[in-house]
Amino acid sequence: MVERMSAKIKKVIDFVKWSKVMRKTNIKAMFIIFFVWGTDVVSKYFIEKNFSDGSTLRIFGDYLQFRLVYNTGGVFGIFQNNAMIFHILSGIAILFLLIYYLRSTYEDVFFNIAIYFVLGGALGNFTDRFFRKGVVDFIDMGFGINRWPTYNVADAFISIGAIALLISFYLSEKNNVKKVT
């Protein structure tokens, strides 16, 4: 009798957990993630079709230009020619972020959108690692020889999302401190 009751309780708990996951994986979330991913994929497709490796188009003088490069390493081009390591690391990072998001208790819209931006961008670069000879980077910013590392739309969304996450964590912690005092 006790075993049957505990089995039923376990089923109810599993259902509650699943419904919580379903609440967090709504259409709005999927739309934002796939919008970020799609924007990245389309921009890279356009660049690859219209630029040869290393060719440059000045958009705003020397400050902003498009230049096709393939990044076979990690962020900012570090550890070039280690594609397999970054296939694995980016896959693990995406899974970790998904699990963290699904298990988090944050109900803040700002937090959720930040996570969607990071996930969409990570999926964009993850896709490149499988279907291209490297991650397509093309946004080149700077003055003269002082240039920021070339990046792409996915990197921009990842950066914006990461900054938004930090702000969200800060504001959440600040609110928790106010509640305690």
Which residues in the chain belong to E strands, given as ranges? 56-60, 64-71, 135-143, 146-147
**Largest CA-CA distance found in the chain, in angstroms, rounded:** 78
- Quote the DSSP letter at residue 80: T
Catalytic residue among 40, 128, 137, 140: 137
Among the listed residues 67, 84, 80, 78, the one whose alpha carbon sits nearest the alpha carbon of residue 137: 67
Catalytic residue among 40, 128, 140, 155: 155
Our answer to whether residue 108 is catalytic in this structure is: no
- Quote the DSSP letter at residue 132: S
Our answer to whether residue 53 is catalytic in this structure is: no
Residue type (1 letter), 135: V
Tokens of 142: 């700077």
Among the listed residues 138, 149, 142, the one whose alpha carbon sits nearest the alpha carbon of residue 57: 138
CA distance 164 to 137: 23
Catalytic (active-site) positions: 137, 155
